């Protein structure tokens, strides 16, 4: 399993969920890693496991982002892959969403992601073949109650990815739209047996997605197997979007 041998990758949101599993899979596939997250303790655990460099950074801290990305590129001796997996999910009725919540979702899910991409550009442009993979969401494509603010930010991620694919070529930029994935971020509603059963029933495959499913998609889009793939949205949802 060396599909990413020689690749130098920065993964955000690497302390948990999709980001953590992607770090594990990238390491197994031969990539050298720098991992970014605000949770220093959890980040150290996965970094020790994968041999990665650690960049502790909160994406709401605008001034900290570029220095953290610069340190990652310096630690790796360059950068040719970026996985933006950092994000937060809040399910709340639209009429109760206050300005502070709108701001936080925007800062983490969209602005932070964009600033990481900007900061990584010099290193990515210096690479022979570079790739960005942004984790969007099925919510960017299919509405559901209580997700208006979250969905709006993820729809922004989706369109930003397409714009960057056009503007930054030959750097490849793609987005993944996960369905409901079994992570700590979804535990608030997934731990309810009735809700979990409804989610399973709503998927064509009658299953719950796992972080490994998204990590596998990240490997493909980063690898040379996807060398002619850019500006796309890869939906990984077990068939929820059409069932």
Point out the catalytic residue in the list 150, 174, 215, 221: 150
Q: Please indicate, yes or no, if residue 31 is contained in any of the structural domains.
A: yes
CB atoms inside a 10 Å sphere around CB 44: 16
C-alpha dist (Å) from residue 21 to 15, 87, 117, 126, 241: 9, 15, 21, 27, 24
Q: Please indicate, yes or no, if residue 43 is contained in any of the structural domains.
A: yes
The three-point CA angle 88-150-120 to 5° equals 60
Q: Please indicate, yes or no, if residue 158 is contained in any of the structural domains.
A: yes
Question: What's residue 150's pLDDT?
Answer: 96
Is 220 a known active-site residue? Answer: no
Helices and strands (H, E) in the chain, number of each type: 9, 7
Q: Go through 226-238 and write b for each residue having 16 or more CB atoms within 10 A of its CB, e for each that does not.
A: beeebebbbbbbb
Question: What's residue 189's pLDDT?
Answer: 79
Question: What's residue 6's pLDDT?
Answer: 96
Q: Please indicate, yes or no, if residue 241 is contained in any of the structural domains.
A: no
Distance CA 113, CA 65 (A): 10
Q: How confident is the model at residue 200 (pLDDT cuts 50, 70, 90)?
A: confident
Tell whether the model's pLDDT for residue 46 goes beyond 80.
yes
Distance CA 53, CA 198 (A): 40
Q: Are 113 and 140 in contact (CB under 8 A)?
A: no
Q: Are 205 and 175 in contact (CB under 8 A)?
A: no
Average pLDDT in the chain: 95
Q: Please indicate, yes or no, if residue 15 is contained in any of the structural domains.
A: yes
Q: How confident is the model at residue 188 (pLDDT cuts 50, 70, 90)?
A: confident
Q: Domain span at residue 36?
A: 8-234
Q: Please indicate, yes or no, if residue 242 is contained in any of the structural domains.
A: no
pLDDT digits (tens, 9 = 90+) for 26-35: 999 999 999 9
Report how many domains make up the chain: 1
Distance CA 11, CA 37 (A): 9
Q: Please indicate, yes or no, if residue 180 is contained in any of the structural domains.
A: yes
Q: Please indicate, yes or no, if residue 240 is contained in any of the structural domains.
A: no
pLDDT digits (tens, 9 = 90+) for 107-160: 999 999 999 999 999 999 999 999 999 999 999 999 989 999 999 999 999 999
Question: What's residue 53's pLDDT?
Answer: 98
CATH for 216: 3.40.50.720
């Amino acid at each position: 399993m060396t599909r990413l041998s020689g690749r130098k990758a920065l993964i955000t949101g690497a302390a948990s969920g999709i980001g953590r599993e992607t770090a594990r899979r990238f390491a197994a596939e031969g990539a050298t890693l720098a991992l970014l997250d605000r949770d220093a303790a959890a980040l150290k655990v996965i970094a020790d496991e994968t041999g990665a460099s650690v960049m502790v950074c909160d994406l709401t801290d605008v001034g900290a982002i570029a220095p953290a990305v610069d340190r990652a590129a310096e630690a790796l001796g360059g950068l040719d892959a970026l996985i933006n997996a950092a994000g937060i999910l809040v399910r709340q009725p639209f009429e109760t969403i206050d300005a502070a919540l709108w701001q936080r979702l925007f800062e983490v899910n969209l602005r932070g992601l964009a600033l990481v991409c900007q900061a990584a550009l010099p290193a990515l442009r210096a690479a022979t073949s570079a790739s960005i993979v942004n984790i969007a969401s099925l919510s960017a494509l299919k509405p559901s109650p209580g997700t208006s603010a979250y969905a709006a930010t993820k729809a922004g991620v989706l369109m930003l990815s397409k714009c960057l694919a056009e503007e930054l070529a030959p750097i490849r930029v793609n987005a993944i739209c996960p369905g409901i994935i079994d992570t700590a971020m979804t535990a608030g509603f997934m731990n309810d047996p009735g809700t979990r059963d409804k989610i399973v029933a709503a998927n064509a495959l009658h299953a719950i997605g796992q972080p490994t499913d998204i990590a596998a998609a990240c490997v493909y889009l980063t690898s040379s197997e996807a060398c002619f793939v850019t500006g796309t949205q890869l939906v990984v949802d077990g068939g929820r979007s059409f069932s």
